Amino acid sequence: MGGRTTALGAAGLVLGLLVAGVTSAEAADPLVSAGKAVTASSIEGTGFEPAKAVDGSSSTRWASLEGQDPQWLRVDLGSAHAISRVRLSWEAAYARSYRVQTSVDGAAWTDVYSTTSGDGGTDDLTVSGSGQYVRVYGTARGTSYGYSLWELEVYGAPSGTPPQPGLGHPFGSRQTPYAAGVLRPSGSTSTLDAKVVDFYQRWKAAFVKQNCGNGWCQVISPDAKFPYVAEAQGYGMVITATMAGADPDAKKTFDGLLKYKLAHPSVNNPDLLASEQDAACRSVNGGDSATDGDMDTAYGLLLADRQWGSSGTYNYRQIAVRNINAIKKSLVNPATNLLLMGDWSTSGNSRQYYGSRSSDWMSDHFRAFRKATGDSAWDTIRVKHQDLIASLQSKYAPNTGLLPDFVQDTNSTPKPAVGEMLERDDTDGTYWYNACRDPWRIGADAALTGDARSLAAARKMNAWIKSKTGGDPARIAVGYQLNGTQISGGSDAAFVAPFAVAATTDPGSQAWLDALWNRMLATPISTNTYFGASIQLQVMITVTGNHWIP
């Protein structure tokens, strides 16, 4: 049998049910599999041992027994690694159907790539996964022979920060692989993570404060109506729990934020957070809740439970479940299964009761709430929001995919808000300072789960903005009509950064993603712009593969 080295065409790949196509971009991580311990399901005979596939020679190879499925080849990297690239050099005996898998223990495996239409040659795959073990698992041969690889090359880097005692999901560990084919900015994982950590440290120094005593921490919001808002505390809880491992004080900061949340309950439901506080940290403006803040505080608590467990000062999981149940009770319209804008919204004001804010529609949060509570209602709620996203894109933004800040008439025929729904009569029905988060929120679910509807929604937005700007992030405007007409000039990280998450879902957008990433790296943190900086930080966490669903 003679070997072939022809390049594998992108059209020849099928990524199962998750994503069609693969990216040709290569991460800059080093080769980590050379000379490592290798085992296999079988060998054809002497001279075809598994070690031949990692010896760096293009003239030696591993070969399995002929005529038998399945067969596999496994390499032990020696320690946990973040895996960014796998390169397979097939001999003529190639796999028609196979999976690339990772494992932390060599027993439980996670697919990071799969195809049912392999055609041999060289498969150079960009993947996102983590583990000590990498396995190529062939399920259908392309010939009557067996399976044979000249080389199995795995590229990656040792997982970020070594786990701290009791830490469940340290930053950089990438224990939750993204969907197959999802992009990541070019560069090694260690370099990308270092950029995130640097931005996080500057963000924390600028916005995380202890201004009111009582052991509280607060995220300050100088560019909001009040100095402390629920949205900011929610961002802070999600961010600090995610950065555990990179920040040795993450738990201390998180507990300070949680203590602040618990000391400021909504007047309508004590398991929700009052949405606004003044400079003295006193709840003002009614003391009721805002949906996005409560969605993120609940999600942050679930992250904390995974990171540190719930046997310490605070039972994170118990508080999270109470928070989640309160969201269902007070922030979900029972007639539509769509989110309300706050627990102040009642049937007495039908316009707002049958209104909703698109930036609250976080499918990854709904999935986490379903998992934490076992309540299947969260599946129904997620699907209803995905239905609404698809309907709005089809009817009102078929060319752009943009969503409005607010919608109305959710009990009949939902449409973009006409006039003022909550904030401004001229922008509540446009892509403005709420909806600017949608490419991030929708794209995060698409990247993590490969959900077909989230992928379609994110890709529509991505295709439009990439074309609209000619691939130049500096041309992303501040606000758009749903038909794509620019509202305002200038540039704002709150509008630029979220499109990077949408870009990760399109295998053809590597250059565009890199341009967005570089734009973010060049954007300074101003102590007066909490909103854009907080969004950008969470986008940077997401596009580097560090976001996860607890």
Residues annotated as part of the active site: 231, 292
- Rounded Cα distance, 156 and 510, in Å: 18
- Rounded Cα distance, 292 and 238, in Å: 12
- Rounded Cα distance, 376 and 87, in Å: 41
DSSP class of residue 501 equals: H
Sequence length of the chain is 550
15 bridge partner residues: 19
DSSP class of residue 298 equals: H
Burial (CB count within 10 angstroms: exposed 0-12, middle 13-18, buried 19+), residue 67 = exposed
Print the SS3 string covering 51-112.
HHHHCCCCCCCEECCCCCCCEEEEEEEEEEEEEEEEEEEECCCCEEEEEEEEECCCCCCEEE
Torsion of CA 394, 397, 403, 404, to 10 degrees: -120
At residue 482, φ and ψ (nearest 5 deg) are -65, -20
SS3 category, 225 = coil
The answer to whether residues 219 and 233 touch, using CB atoms and an 8 Å cutoff, is: yes
The answer to whether residues 359 and 292 touch, using CB atoms and an 8 Å cutoff, is: yes
Q: Give the containing element (helix H, strand E) for 138.
A: strand 122-141
State in Å, rounded, how far the first CA of the chain is from the last one: 48
The answer to whether residues 251 and 244 touch, using CB atoms and an 8 Å cutoff, is: yes
- Rounded Cα distance, 386 and 503, in Å: 19
For the chain, helix, strand, coil in percent to 5 are 35, 20, 45
The answer to whether residues 365 and 298 touch, using CB atoms and an 8 Å cutoff, is: yes
The answer to whether residues 434 and 357 touch, using CB atoms and an 8 Å cutoff, is: yes
38 bridge partner residues: 75
Nearest 5°: the CA angle 53, 55, 56 is 100
DSSP class of residue 508 equals: T
